[in-house]
Amino acid sequence: MRTRFDEQLKEMNNSLIQMGALIENAIALANKALVEQNSTLAKQAIDCDNEINEMEKHIESQCLKLILRQQPIASDLRLISTALKMITDMERIGDHATDISEITLQLSDAVYIKKLEHIPQMAQTTIKMVSNSIDAFVNKDLALADAVIKEDDIVDNLFCTIKEDLIALIHEDKKNGEQAMDLLMIAKYFERIGDHAVNIAEWVIFSITAKHKNKRII
What does the pLDDT look like over 79-116, one tens digit per residue?
Answer: 999 999 999 999 999 999 999 999 999 999 999 999 99
pLDDT of 1 above 70:
no
What gap in Å lies between CA 209 and CA 211, rounded to an integer?
5
**Which pLDDT belongs to residue 213?**
76
Give the lowest-confidence range in 56-70, 143-157, 178-192. Answer: 56-70
The Cα 32–Cα 153 span in angstroms is 23
Distance between start and end Cα atoms, the chain: 24
- Domains of the chain, start order: 2-216 (1.20.58.220)
DSSP state at residue 210: S
Sequence-distant (6+) residues with CB within 8 A of 150 are none
Could you report the per-residue pLDDT of 34-54, keeping only the tens digit for each?
A: 999 999 999 999 999 999 999
CB 197 within 8 A of CB 137: no
Contact 142, 43 (CB under 8 A): no
Question: Which residues sit opposite 123 in a β-bridge?
Answer: none
Q: How far is CA 69 from the centre of its chain?
A: 30
pTM of the model: 0.94
